[in-house]
Amino acid sequence: MPDGTLASRQSRRATIASFIGTAVEWYDFFIYGTASALVFGTLFFPEADSGTGTLAAFATFWVGFLTRPLGGIVFGHLGDRIGRKNVLVVTLILMGSATTLIGVLPTYASIGYAAPLLLVLLRALQGIAVGGEWGGAVLMATENAAQGRRGMAGAWVQQGSPAGAILATLAFLVVGRMPDDAFLQWGWRVPFLLSALLVVIGLVIRIAVHESAEFRAARETEPAVRLPLVTLFRTAWPLVALGIGASALGISAAYFTNTFLVSWATTDLGIPRQMMLDILLVTFVLQFLWQPVAALIARRIGAVRVMAGALTANILVAVPMFLLITTRDGFLIGVALALSVVTGASYYALLAGFLAQAFPVRVRYTGISVAYQLCSTIIGGSTPLVAQWLLISGGGSHWPVVGYYIALLVLTLGCVLALARRAGHDRPPAAARTALTSP
C-alpha cells in the first residue's frame, strides 16, 4: 500500500477514534450536569430549600472542574513522555467507571451525609479523566492529519461535545417521560449506567489506533522532555495564560445552557422539564451540523476571522437571547438558543486546532491540557454556580447573569486575538501563516 494511502487511512482512523472517544467522555460529563440541574439537589441535599439545594448540586458539579487541571497535568506529562494512545485508553476507562458508579450510588435518604461525599469523590474522578482526555484526543487527530487538514481534524474532535450532549439529552428525554416518583427513585440512574456500554464501544475503536505520527517523528529527532510542566511554564507561560482566556466561552457555554438555563427555566420560569430537554436536543443537533460548516468557512477566510466574528455576533445576541427565554414560549426559546449556538459553535469548532498549533510539539499535550483545564476550573465549571448566585443575589433578576455572560464573551474574544498575534510573532513566517489562516 502506498505511504500516502496508509497515512490517509491512519489519519481517518485517528480522527474517528478521537471523535467517538471524546463523545463518550462528554456524554458522561454532560449527564452529570443535567442531573445536577434536575435531581441531585433533591436527592443528595434534601435538607436545604430548593434554591440552596440547587446551589449545592452545582457546587458538586464544579468539583469535576476543580480536578480537571490535575488530570491535564498528570496525563499531559505521560502523554508528552510516552505517547498519546495509551493515555487515552486509561482516561476512557476511568471516566466510564466513575460514571457507572454514580448510577448505583445510594442517596441521602439511604446513607445520609456519605451520599454527597461519595458523589463528590466520583465527580472528582470524572474531572481527572476528562482533564487528560481532551488534549490527547485533539493531538491524536491533528498530529496524524496532513498539515492542511489539521483544522478539520480538530473540528471533528470538537464534534464530540455536541454528540455527547445529544446522547445525554436523549437519555434524559427518555427517562424524563417517567412519572416524577419513578424518575426520582431510579429513572435518573439509567443514563449513568448506559455509560458502561458506551465505554466498551469507545475502547474497541480507540485501541486499534496507532500512536501519533508527529509524536513518533519528534521522538526520533529529540528526547522526551523530562518535566513537561516545568518546561512549559519556563518557556511558554504567556501562551498558557492566553489559552485559558481564549477557552472561556468554549467551556462555559455548554454549562450555561444545559445546566444553569435548564434549572432557571424549569424552576423560576416554570417551563416544563420536557419542553426544555426537547429544545436542548434541537440546539445540540444544530451545533453538531453547523460546526463542520464553520470549519469549512475557516479554511477559506481564516480561523481567527471566523472565531472573532462569531464571538462578536454572540455578544450582540446575548441580550435578545435572555429576553426571548423570559417569554416562556417554546418556539421563541428555541430561536434564542439557536442564535447563541450558531455563533458560539462557529468559534468552538475551531478552538481545538487553534490551541494545538499554539504550543511546540514537545510540550503540546501538557500545554493545551493545562490551558484548557485551568480555564475549566477557574471559569467553566463555576459558570452555573456563579450564574445561580447572581440570580439569587439579584432577587431573581436575570440581568446580572446577562452581564456575566457578556463578560465571558469579551474575555474570550480579547484572548483569541492576543493569542493569534502571539503565535504569529513566535513562529517563522510560514508557520505563522499556517497557524493564523488554517482552522
From the list 392, 355, 157, 366, the residue with the least C-alpha distance to 267 is: 392
Residue closest to 14 by CA, chosen among 147, 148, 138, 160: 138
65 CB burial (10 A radius; 0-12, 13-18, 19+): buried
411 grid coordinates:
474575555
DSSP 223: P
Q: Where are the alpha helices (DSSP H) in 36-84?
A: 41-44, 50-66, 68-82
Query: CB-based contacts of 241: which residues, under 8 Å, 6+ apart?
Result: none
Return d(Cα 367, Cα 422) in angstroms, integer: 15
Rg of the chain taking only CA atoms, in angstroms: 21
Q: Which residues contact 414 (CB under 8 A, 6 or more apart)?
A: 245
Total domains in the chain come to 1
Using alpha carbons only, give the angle 368, 210, 71 rounded to the nearest 5 degrees. Answer: 30
Candidates 292, 322, 334; CA nearest to 390 is 322
- Select from 117, 83, 98 the least CA-distant residue to 24: 98
pLDDT in tens, 332-356: 999 999 998 889 989 998 998 898 8
Q: By CB neighbour count within 10 A (0-12 exposed, 13-18 middle, 19+ buried), where does 190 fall?
A: middle
The domain in which residue 305 lies consists of: 3-437
Which residues make Cβ contacts (< 8 Å) with residue 218, sequence separation at least 6?
Answer: 361, 362
CB 247 within 8 A of CB 358: no
Mean pLDDT of the chain: 83
User: What's the CA angle centered on 137, arms 136 and 138, to 5 degrees?
Assistant: 90
**Are the CB atoms for 112 and 143 separated by under 8 Å?**
no
Asked if 195 and 60 touch (Cβ cutoff 8 Å), the reply is no
Residue ranges in 247-302 assigned as alpha helix (H): 248-255, 262-266, 273-301
Going residue by residue through the chain (439 aa), what tens digit of pLDDT does each one get?
Answer: 445 565 677 777 788 888 887 888 778 878 887 888 788 888 888 877 767 777 788 788 778 878 888 988 888 888 888 777 788 888 888 988 999 999 999 998 899 989 989 999 999 998 898 888 878 888 888 777 776 677 777 788 888 888 888 888 888 888 888 888 898 889 999 999 988 888 888 888 778 777 766 677 776 777 667 788 888 888 888 899 999 999 999 888 877 887 788 888 888 899 988 888 888 888 889 989 999 999 899 888 888 999 999 999 999 999 999 999 999 999 999 999 999 888 998 999 899 889 888 888 778 888 888 898 889 888 887 888 899 899 989 888 889 999 999 999 999 999 999 999 886 533 433 333 333 333 3
The CATH number of residue 56's host domain is 1.20.1250.20
For 165-222, write each residue's pLDDT tens digit.
Answer: 888 888 888 888 888 889 888 999 999 998 888 888 888 877 877 776 667 777 677 7
Cα–Cα distance measured from residue 32 to residue 129, given in angstroms and rounded to the nearest whole number: 14
Report the distance separating Cα 283 and Cα 43, nearest Å.
28
- CA 412 to each of CA 25, 101, 284, 344: distance values in angstroms, whole numbers, following the listed order: 24, 35, 21, 11
Cell numbers for 193: 449506567
